[in-house]
Chain A
Amino acid sequence: MSADIAKLESIAKQVRRDIVRMVHSCQSGHPGGSLGCTDFFVALYFNELHHNPKFNPDGIGEDLFFLSNGHISPVFYSTLARAGYFDVSELATFRKINSRLQGHPTTHEHLPGIRVASGSLGQGLSVAIGAAQAKKLNGDDKLVYVLMGDGEIQEGQVWEAAMYAPHNKIDNLIATIDVNGQQIDGSTEQVLSLGNIKAKWEAFGWEVLETNGNQMAALIDTLQDAKNRTGKGKPIMILMKTEMGNGVDFMMGSHKWHGVAPNDEQLAVALDQLEETLGDY
């Protein structure tokens, strides 16, 4: 499939607007990681995945995506809405009482597009491996994708899963780590150094790719490359370098916007930098 890069970039602009507006509206949530991963979500849902917005939780015959670092729910919700899983007007309910758009994603409120709850970190890779095993048992040749944060891989469960997948040749799985180098208390380097992430995953037996997660063309190429490498006996890991807060100049490159909402003035400045391409919700 040849991707229309300009079109995907245009969608990403609207998703970034949605993120900033959602977080501003409820004065809580996580804009930094959401903005950093926007290009990845758009590339995935508008170019890469074989998926059906008429949501079926079992997803037989579809590619599945799991968000392990559930705190970047704004980008997940906006992408799902813009892809047709539910009406974009519902984005206005994010983090508010009686909403299906909980602070962290959940199946509990039956929001289309969500297949497992996430938020407590380190669990998504295991869930994705289980779903990938189910696909193999069902003779379903579609793929399973999962996204984790780089700080998240400080959780021990991630390494249990990292050891399991190559040993059991889970080769219908494409995992991604958002390498933005930031976590709540500072940079990953300061808080708990991740060391050579690539060497670690390679040592565990993964096929490791690297890409720039804020360049749409590079992302598309890498996702295609990853897909081409599936079915060959190894799980695939994409290390995706991103900039936290990407797209809003005053949020970029700092952990300070991990979990802070912009005020009215900051919202206005941010929206000036993000073109309304698909119409605000």
Chain B
Amino acid sequence: MKKYTFTEKKDTRSGFGAGLHEVGKKNSNVVALCADLIGSLKMGDFKKDFPQRFFQVGIAEANMMGMAAGLTIGGKIPYTGTFANFSTGRVYDQIRQSIAYSGKNVKICASHAGLTLGEDGATHQILEDIGLMKMLPGMTVINPCDYNQTKAATMAIADYNGPVYLRFGRPSVPIFTDPDQPFEIGKAWMVNEGTDVSIIATGHLVWEAIQAGEKLAELGIDAEIINIHTIKPLDEEAILKSIRKTGCVVTAEEHNRIGGLGDSVAQVLAKNQPVPQEYVAVNDSFGESGTPAQLMEKYGLNADSIVAAVNRVIKRK
């Protein structure tokens, strides 16, 4: 098992804030909109340095999405910022018609995704957003794993012309990827090569997968770990190459079992080469209040859950 260490923990939303500020310096067409959550989205530096290109829309997410669509007409590259719940479910029709169907170059940036926003509870813990967004034709869906990758993704999407959903979160998590990494949309990242099982993880679950890989190594199981930061378009080639070697797969995500990364992988397997698959995901329920660690344990989204899923799936080979 390849060794991954970290010296610092940070929230992925701060990676977004840093990336937005950086890309704002490089590209004067980048503009940002926020629905009364500048602090939570870490958009303060961008607002301070580029006040003319920053739009505070108030608590009016539908208007924000429509405005973002309009700003693209004339060549701007709008980044919208609010919580994942208000970035997707609340404004689904606005995104569908004014952005996705209209093919607008809007970057929908969503913080506080999943259970790990913690104490605010289920009203704010959206676990359906990946599914909602990936079902929209032409929408790119990205869920990076740490601060550095979120920063790199935030900058990279400015160079891609088309609608993007960029998902990140609130808790401090280990920084284990390269600060100067190139970010290629749709390209899986091989975290660890192995032969016994493929663990395909996204977002906060990538670090948990690494922890699981170390535990599995002690049990004599050689796990291949793949970081899927882009859920759509999915790197089918990397997934198929891996499962042809390992013969089974565990998918891991901070999302509902229905409609997330696991279902996207299952579709690839069903079409190409069916192998046993286990899901590490929320089992079709809403979340609740608690600390992030408590919630990830209760809903089965941590390293121990991945280890258990690997043990199940290997028996099914």
Contact = CB atoms under 8 A, between A and B. Distances in A.
A116 B75 contact: no
Interface in B98-157: 98, 101-104
A140 B62 CA distance: 26
Contact of B69 (A119, A127, A163): A127
Interface stretch (B50-58, B187-195, B255-263, B308-316): B50-58
Nearest to B71: A130
A118 interface: yes
Contact of A120 (B53, B58, B97): B97
Nearest to A126: B66
Contacts of A128: 70
Given A116-B73, A129-B67, 19 more contacts: A116-B98, A119-B97, A120-B93, A123-B97, A126-B64, A126-B67, A126-B98, A131-B74, A133-B67, A134-B70, A135-B74, A138-B75, A157-B66, A157-B94, A160-B60, A160-B62, A161-B63, A163-B60, A164-B67
Interface residues of A, number: 39
A117 B94 CA distance: 10
A50 interface: no
B55 A116 contact: no
Interface stretch (A58-66, A75-83, A187-195, A261-269): A58-66
A77 B66 CA distance: 23
A115 interface: yes
Nearest to A107: B102
Contacts of A115: 73
Interface of A: 57-60, 64, 66, 106-108, 115-120, 122-135, 137-138, 140, 156-157, 160-161, 163-164, 168
A107 B72 CA distance: 13
A133 B55 contact: yes
A125 B66 contact: yes
Contact of A58 (B68, B69, B73, B78): B73
A134 B71 contact: yes
Interface centre among A108, A124, A137 (most CB of B within 10 A): A137
Contacts of B78: 130
Contacts of B97: 117-120, 123
Contacts of A118: 97
Nearest to A110: B103
Contacts of B71: 130-131, 133-134
B307 interface: no
Given A130-B66, A157-B63, A161-B66, A140 B98 contact: no
Contact of B70 (A107, A131, A163): A131
Nearest to B63: A160
A159 B63 CA distance: 9
A127 B98 CA distance: 8
27 contacts: A57-B73, A58-B74, A59-B74, A60-B75, A106-B101, A108-B102, A117-B97, A117-B98, A123-B66, A123-B93, A123-B94, A126-B69, A126-B70, A127-B73, A129-B66, A130-B69, A130-B78, A133-B55, A133-B70, A134-B74, A137-B31, A157-B63, A157-B66, A160-B63, A164-B58, A164-B60, A164-B63
A137 B68 CA distance: 14
A193 B269 CA distance: 54
Given A108-B103, A119-B97, A123-B66, A163 B58 contact: yes
Given A107-B102, A117-B98, A130 B73 contact: yes
A127 B76 CA distance: 13
Interface centre among A118, A126, A128, A164 (most CB of B within 10 A): A126
A118 B102 CA distance: 9
A170 to B, nearest CB: 10
A66 B101 CA distance: 16
Contacts of A108: 101-103
Contacts of B98: 116-117, 123, 126-127
Contact of B68 (A59, A60, A130, A132): A130
A60 B97 CA distance: 23
A132 B71 CA distance: 8
A263 to B, nearest CB: 32
A138 B74 contact: yes
Contacts of A117: 97-98, 101-102
A146 B72 CA distance: 17
Contacts of B70: 66, 116, 126-134
A137 B55 CA distance: 12
B74 A126 contact: no
Interface centre among B68, B94, B98 (most CB of A within 10 A): B98
Interface string B85-102: 000000001101110011
A157 B74 CA distance: 23
A106 B98 CA distance: 10
Nearest to B61: A160
